[in-house]
Amino acid sequence: MIKVGVVGGTGYTGVELLRLLSRHPQVELTAITSRGEAGMPVAEMFPSLRRRVDLKFVTPQDAQLEKCDAVFFATPNGIAMKQAAELVAAGVRVIDLAADFRIRDVAEWQKWYGMEHAAPALVAEAVYGLPEVNREQIRNARVLANPGCYPTAVQLGFLPLVEAGVIDADHLIADAKSGVSGAGRKAEVHTLLPEAADSFKAYGVAGHRHLPEIRQGLSLAAGRTVGLTFVPHLTPMIRGIHATLYGRIKPGIELPDLQALFEKRYAGEAFVDVMPAGSHPETRSVRASNLCRIAVHRPQGGDTVVVLSVIDNLVKGAAGQAVQNLNIMFGFDEEAGLDIVPVSP
């Protein structure tokens, strides 16, 4: 049994993290912080956690996080980097669900996130927490950078093709759609029900913060810099990401059986489901679960490969993957706390 703290437990990612940790057989939740809601019972804000989480929110100063074995940061970008060093020095293992430690190039991070990085030394040490790629490094990580939601769906979909070198890595296209919860639990006009419902739109076409993160991961897989066009969209649903990925087959190569390529790459992965040939995965098929479902197509036998990748943005795209990483870091069963059948309807 390990002691776990959560910094910033009032957002959608935070409550999802609490839902998963509250049922984890090896976790004792000891502190959940919120400056604005200190003193309020967690279950008063989130009635879904009644009889599961009996703690009250506390200020970071009163949380005694240094006594935890692991601390999750479910906070906005720029928070974990200011507090992680002190916790790491106290022997606490840090899992950041924001973007503070995801991008290795600090100057690149500062360009996209518009602030000076407070802990560049920890960036160099941090492990990028995509288990299907970095499982061995995750085991010994002191600072874990939990991947973003779009980057998880896009990288898992492209990786088998990029690693095998069968598509043109200079012209990758990721057309991705997210539910409104991806924007966070804050009051903004564009996420109001009358604004988001019965509508569909692209955003961040000129450049989205997840672009350098995706490009970094795929470039490592390819062994060189890749070219990527990434266009995110807002859809009128609460949860879910659907990424439609396009790659052009390299001319003059002997193309392997694509279905077999994907099945072999993810054989034994508990949270990646390669669906039968011809399938079209739906976001509702992964709702509230830590699963990524993938299907690979070659329309009309042409020179374009199309990959369909779906996840729940709050689970495999955030809190669930963070718990999966916790399990790897502490030597638990990787599925502990995550053996959840998707919710349908």
Strand 292-297 relative to strand 304-311, pairing: antiparallel
Active-site choice (49, 122, 149, 319)? 149
Strand 201-202 relative to strand 228-234, pairing: antiparallel
One-letter amino acid for residue 106 of the chain: V
Whether residue 320 contacts residue 72, with contact meaning beta carbons closer than 8 Å, is answered with no
User: CA nearest 175: which of 221, 198, 208?
Assistant: 208
Q: How many CB atoms lie within 10 A of CB 341?
A: 8
Q: How many CB atoms lie within 10 A of CB 224?
A: 9
- The DSSP call for residue 191 is G
Residues 6+ apart with CB under 8 A from 279: 295, 308
Q: How many CB atoms lie within 10 A of CB 140?
A: 10
Residues 6+ apart with CB under 8 A from 42: 9, 18, 32, 49, 53, 54, 55, 56, 57
DSSP per-residue string spanning 49-94: GTTT---BEE-GGGS-GGG-SEEEE-S-TTSHHHHHHHHHHTT-EE
Residues 6+ apart with CB under 8 A from 172: 158, 162, 218, 226, 227, 228, 229, 245, 246, 247
- Note if 68 is an active site residue: no
**Is 32 in a helix, a strand, or coil?**
strand
Which of the residues are catalytic? 149
